[in-house]
Each structure stands twice: as C-alpha cells, then as structure tokens.
Amino acid sequence: MLSQKISYTEVAEAKRMFEACRNVVIVSHISADGDAIGSSLGLYEYLKKKGKQVTVIVPNYFPDFLKWMTDADKIIQYDRRRAMAKTYITAADLIVVLDLNEPTRLEELAIPITRSKAKKIMIDHHLHPQKFCDLTISYPDASSTSELVFRLIDAIGGMSNLTKAGAEDLYAGMCTDTGKFTYGSNDPDLYIILSELLRKGIDKDKINRLIYNNYTEARFRLLGYILSEKLQVFPDLHATLFTLTRDELNRFSYVKGDTEGVVNMPLEIKGTKLSIYMREDMEHPRIFVSLRSVDDFPANKVAAEFFNGGGHLNAAGGQLQNISMDEAVEIAKKALEAYEEKLKD
C-alpha cells in the first residue's frame, strides 16, 4: 500500500478545486525537462478525462525527445504564441503550477500567471517554495513532481481517470528526474507507483528507448567533443567542469535537449563527487549552469552561493548574466576552492 505523503487537508482542498473548475491552465518552468512535461501532460490527461477544458503552457521550447507524448503537440510555447496563451490564461478559473517553486522560473510567463485572478495550485518538489498560490503542495523529499501528481490523483480516488497516456507521461517524468531510477529513488513507494503505472498498460522499455535512444548524429558528435576536448578533471578535488560556447553549439547544430543528461556522465569517473556544466544561451547574454553530485555533497548550496540558483542536494542549477565564459569559469573555480575541504573529505 502506498504511504500517505500529501496531507489529508491538501488532498481535500485539491479535490474541491478540481471539482469546482471548468477551464484549467497548467504551466511549468523555463526550458521544461522530462519531469515538467511529464507531470503537466499526466495531470492534463487526468483532468481532461474528468471533462475539464485543459491547456498546457510552457515558457519556451522543450526538447524533441519528449515530443512523442500524447498531445505534446498541443502544448503552447509562450514565447511563440503569447496572444493565444494569454487568452487561455484569461479564461482559466484554475491554474496549476508544476515543478517550480517561484514565479521567476516562468520568466516572462510569470506576469500573466501572477496577475490572473484564477485560483492557483502549486505542486512541486524543490526547496523553499514561495507562497504565491492558493494551495501549495510541496514535498522536497519526493523523487519528482510526477510522483506527487500520481500521489495526488491516487489520494483523491481518481485512478480510474488516469489514462494509459497519462501513466506514460508520469513514468517519463519520474524516470528522467531520477536518471532512470539511479538517484533519488530509494523510496520503496516509487516501485509501488511504478507497478500501478504498469497496470495501466505502459511499456516502460519502449518509453526508455523513446527518451534515451532518440538523439541525432550531431548530438553524438557533440558528446564526443565534450569528452575529448572540453572536459576538465580536477582529481585532487574529485570534481569536473566542462563548458560550451554559442559558437561551439552552432558548430554541432545544437538544438535544446542535445546535452540533456551529459552533466551526469563525469560522475562515472571513479571518486568524482561534483560535475559542473556551463552553457551559453543561444538567444540571451547569459550562461546556464548545471550541477550534479553524489552522496551528501550539496550541489544546491554551490548553485545558490555562486550561480544565482538552487535545487536539490544532488541536482541543481543556476545562471550567470552578462558575463563571458572565461569569467564564468573563474567563478566555477572559486566555487571549487570554497568547497575544497568538503570535496576532498
């Protein structure tokens, strides 16, 4: 039996809000990943089956390897279709905010969302959620937001309205946010949830292939370049760092999603505790930073202290505005120096 994680009060309030609504907008964070898209489309499928009018809106482009999901082609990208998105937001009587803990992670989409008079629910697993929604369901110990969406549907008694497509979406979200169940996945409840998703008829092996075996040749060339030319290893600090400039990305015909998961690869080097990846944005003067760690090394603290970010203990991110990559690398090296004792421990 699945243990109770979401409180009875939160379940009851979410159920009431789901029953009362007619027009729902679901939003998630910039550069949506597998958990953001999986949880959004999973909840979309559930609410649609209940007869609600549901629209999913994301701030910008999301990776091609997630576009196999049912109705992924109906997701509205705010940066491309602002007027259409605002029409749906204006009509909404319920907005569900998924996989983010503060409106800044919506970037420009935050303006119409926070101004909307619709009731709002946040469902998320990141630390320190800001209170900008009427109901906040936040459990940082959850593996993913997709896990929390499943738990909420189950606790409401809504499993009959979770379709096979919805189950596929939630599995994809859980799978990607745990690195195919290789980290953040020691809770026995996850495998109870997985068994319930399998009962819905999903083919998890096929989903894994669609997510992880669906890249372009250019992505593999880029991966080879990263490993042979760009990866810096600091053996005494048990850390690694690699960077990609806009010119380098263009050289390999980069599309968003091509470096998904690559930050995890250096952790396969024996003894490595921390991996840092920095990438120039293709459109704006900023550098995205991804950090991954193992055991008790606090990637989230490094992200908060040096990269204007945050996240989970072993998976975090941030960004640096209006600086060169050389300057960003110096900041990364200062971060390694600051955490030298813990890295060597």
Which residue ranges make up each domain of the chain? 8-212, 217-344
Task: Give the Cα separation of 225 and 223 in Å (integer).
Answer: 5
Average pLDDT, the chain: 96
Separation of alpha carbons 212 and 189, rounded Å: 24
How far apart CA 175 and CA 172 sit, in angstroms, is 5
Q: What is the pTM of this model?
A: 0.90
- SS3 state of residue 99: coil
Of all residues in the chain, the percent with pLDDT exceeding 70 is 100
**What would the mean pLDDT of 294-307 be, rounded to a whole number?**
96
Q: What is the bridge-based pairing of β-strands 286-293 and 315-321?
A: antiparallel
Hey, what CATH class is 8-212 in? alpha beta
Question: Which pLDDT score is estimated for 1?
Answer: 83
Placement of tokens 């900008």 in the chain:
132
Which of 42-51, 162-171, 250-259, 273-282 is predicted with the least confidence, judged by mean pLDDT?
250-259
Q: How many CB atoms lie within 10 A of CB 88?
A: 20
CATH class for the region spanning 217-344: alpha beta
Q: What is the rounded average pLDDT of the residues 291-312?
A: 95
Mean pLDDT of 308-316: 92
pLDDT at 256: 83
Query: DSSP letter string over 185-246?
Result: ---THHHHHHHHHHHTT--HHHHHHHHHS---HHHHHHHHHIIIII-EEEGGGTEEEEEE-H
Gap between the Cα atoms of 145 and 75, Å rounded? 18
Q: Alpha-carbon dihedral of residues 231, 236, 239, 245, nearest 10 degrees?
A: -40
Query: d(Cα 58, Cα 78) in Å, to the nearest integer?
Result: 6
* Residue pLDDT, tens place only, 263-283: 999 999 999 999 999 999 998
- Tell me the two tokens of residue 318: 């941030």
pLDDT at 59 over 90: yes
Read off the pLDDT of each residue in 234-244 and give the average, rounded to a whole number.
98
pLDDT for residue 257 is more than 90: no
pLDDT at 171 over 90: yes
Q: What is the mean pLDDT of residues 313-336?
A: 96
Over residues 15-25, the mean pLDDT reads: 98
pLDDT value at position 24? 98
Predicted confidence at residue 284, as pLDDT, reads 87
Distance CA 38, CA 43 (A): 9
Question: Would the pLDDT of 62 be above 90?
Answer: yes
CA 293/CA 94 separation, integer angstroms: 37
Q: What is the pLDDT of residues 102-153, one digit of tens each?
A: 999 999 999 999 999 999 999 999 999 999 999 999 999 999 999 999 999 9
pLDDT greater than 90 at residue 252 = yes
